[in-house]
Amino acid sequence: MSIAKSASKGVKPLRSTSEKTESRKAWWKRYLASMKYGLHVITHPFDGFWDLIHEKRGTIAAANTFLILFLITRVLKLLLTSFQFISAPIQYINVFQEMGSLALPFIILCLANWAMTTLFDGKGRFKDIYMAMCYALIPYILIQIPMIVVSNMLTYEEGSFYTVLLSFSVIWCVFLVFVGLMEVHDYGPGKTFIFLIVTIFGAAVIIFLLLVFFSLLGDALSYFISLYREIVFRLN
């Protein structure tokens, strides 16, 4: 906005530190606006996701933030929820493993969806799909973080309130993923549903390929290592 204003006044932008700070400020402004736009997306998903992509209301930075916040929420939930509602073996929890076990499938699902929908005239690019999926995680963050606090103020018998809200947050997220993909690819609901299932199959294929790749890599490595040993042994 400030750039636009200054441009309209006819002042020529200078290549200086002040311009750099100006653009940084603009970036931050856009970032915060796109973060705030998330609230609009989750309450008005049909319009929200359309504008998110086509009106460039969302940013990748904000999407990254939501994904990271989602992972942090997940870990905080495991560590801080009252033991009455969650039985997490804290002594075994590896924070990075926990995060990885969520982030990796998430990325693989995005990738599988992109791979499948590009073949069947989906309009979304990978960036768009990723952004839509990340924005769809917002209800989880917004509901689960307060619920961590609430869980420490409730007893086991009063837990129905807690579980209802938790499942509500998950259902909301799933609904948003559905609508988000529908808007991103410009599909109908039926086609979106079919491609959700196809995506899961695609993800399975990707995981299979990864496993094959790593096992072959391991075999190749051990081959070269034994070759090297053999040579060293012969030389001596």
Partner 1 sequence: MKRTVSFLFALMLLFVSAAYADDGFSTSYTYGYDYWEDVQESPDAYRVKTVLDSTNLGMDKLDNQVLRKPQSLFVKDQELYICDTGNNRIIQVHVSGDRYDVVRVINAVKGSAEDYELAESFNLKSQEYEKAITERVKAEEKLAEMTGTSQEEENSEAAAVMEEVQERVNEVLGTESTTEAPEEVSASDAEIEAATLALEQAREREEQIHQETVEAEEKAKAQGCSIWQYDAWQKDGEGNIVSVLNTPNDIAVDDTGNIYIADTNNYRVIKMDRDCNLIWEFTKPLDATFDQSQNFLPKKIVVDVAGRVYALCQNINKGLVKFEEDGVFSGFIGANAVSVSMVDYIWKRYFQTKEQRAQTANFVPTEYENICIDADGFIYATTTVFSEGDLRWDNAKPIRRLNSLGNDILIKNDKIPPIGDIEWISGGGEATGPSKLVDITVLNNDMYVALDRVRGRLFGYDSQGVMLWAFGTKGNVDGAFNGAISIEHIGHNLLVLDQLKNSITVFEPTEYGKTIYSAIDTYLSGEYDESAALWQEVLKLNANYPLAFRGIGRAVLRQNKYKEAMEWFELAHDRENYGRAFKLYRKEWVESNIWWIVLVVALLLIVPLAIGMIKKLKWEVIMHEHSKVRK
Site of interaction with partner 1 (CB under 8 A): 83-84, 87, 89, 91-92, 94, 96-97, 100, 104, 153, 155-157, 210, 214, 217
Q: How far is the CB of 69 from partner 1 (least distance, A)?
A: 22
Closer by beta carbon to partner 1, 136 or else 148: 148
Q: Report whether 3 contacts 26 (CB < 8 A).
A: yes
CA distances in angstroms from 100 to 107, 185, 199, listed in the order given: 10, 28, 20
Closer by beta carbon to partner 1, 155 or else 236: 155
Q: Report whether 30 contacts 59 (CB < 8 A).
A: yes
Q: How far is the CB of 83 from partner 1 (least distance, A)?
A: 6
**Euclidean distance between the first and the last CA atom of the chain, given in angstroms as a whole number:** 74
Closer by beta carbon to partner 1, 100 or else 188: 100
Q: How far is the CB of 92 from partner 1 (least distance, A)?
A: 7
Closer by beta carbon to partner 1, 11 or else 153: 153
- 191's CB contacts (< 8 A; 6+ apart) are none
The phi and psi torsions of 180 (rounded to 5 degrees) equal -55, -50
Closer by beta carbon to partner 1, 174 or else 216: 216
Closer by beta carbon to partner 1, 72 or else 103: 103
Q: How far is the CB of 49 from partner 1 (least distance, A)?
A: 30
Q: How far is the CB of 81 from partner 1 (least distance, A)?
A: 13
Q: How far is the CB of 222 from partner 1 (least distance, A)?
A: 14
- 206's CB contacts (< 8 A; 6+ apart) are 108, 111, 112
The phi and psi torsions of 81 (rounded to 5 degrees) equal -60, 145
* Residue 194, burial from CB neighbour count under 10 angstroms (0-12, 13-18, 19+): middle
Q: Report whether 132 contacts 53 (CB < 8 A).
A: yes
